[in-house]
Structure 1
Amino acid sequence: MKKQVVNAKTAKQLIALKLVKVLPHALKQLFQRTPDGVAHNNEYLVDKLIHTDQVKKALFKGYAQLSYTMYSLSDPEEFEIPISFIVKRKHTEVLIITVYFADAIDTHTVNTIGEGDENKRKLLAFYKANFEKF
């Protein structure tokens, strides 16, 4: 889907056509996470997005739609760019949620449930009590 949106357009064109939107949070995070504190602009981030060629993961991260963490195998800075797709009537937009480096310390808390996990037992019990009746 990303290829269909960017389809041979430059970063400047994608921004002008409003096909890619960079959330202010993304620029703030990039500034904070850049080792030398270099402030990059929207065009720089969109250009990084254009060159992504891999999906690391897809998650629901507080948005109604999935967000995808994209990266490029050939990127020497090893940026990871979480994005989301917003489908409109006539076109699809890409929303750049944030950006970080692959080796950055994750500041987000993600809970996973494994076999024998107490949280798994509680979630299954909650599900059975509330939803299996239907």
Structure 2
Amino acid sequence: MILVSEQKLNPFEHYTDIFKALSDVTRLKIMWLLLSIDSKICVSEIIDVLCENQYNVSKHLKILKKAGLVYEKKEGKWTFYHYCGSTGYFEDMVKKAVLTIPEDKMVNEIERCKKRLSMRVDGKCVVGTESED
């Protein structure tokens, strides 16, 4: 008897996981943000940029991580998120598709991101307050 506990039964599961992960507006914005700034970003910065609460941002990041789109790295008390990088043609095309979202759709988020990232001290995340928009 062969155990298949470690094998995926559906060869399309990887692809559907990515499409499902990107089917939510907040997750799509997070991906666009990570790809556009091409840098690590901490949860509190994402919270302030998207004007979302910590629970929602963490939930969305968990889904993106499960789909293999982002990874997390702990640095002291901070958890930073990065885009995983392309592992193949499909992932390259997903990245390109996300980056085709026009900047004018993200004007407010871009401004909040610039403001929030400028608060860093020596390139490190700091506790911030929600944007005053």
TM-score, length-scaled by structure 2: 0.26
Rg comparison, structure with higher value: 1
Q: Higher helix share goes to which structure?
A: 2
- Greater relative contact order structure (CA < 8 Å, 6+ sep): 2
TM-score, length-scaled by structure 1: 0.26
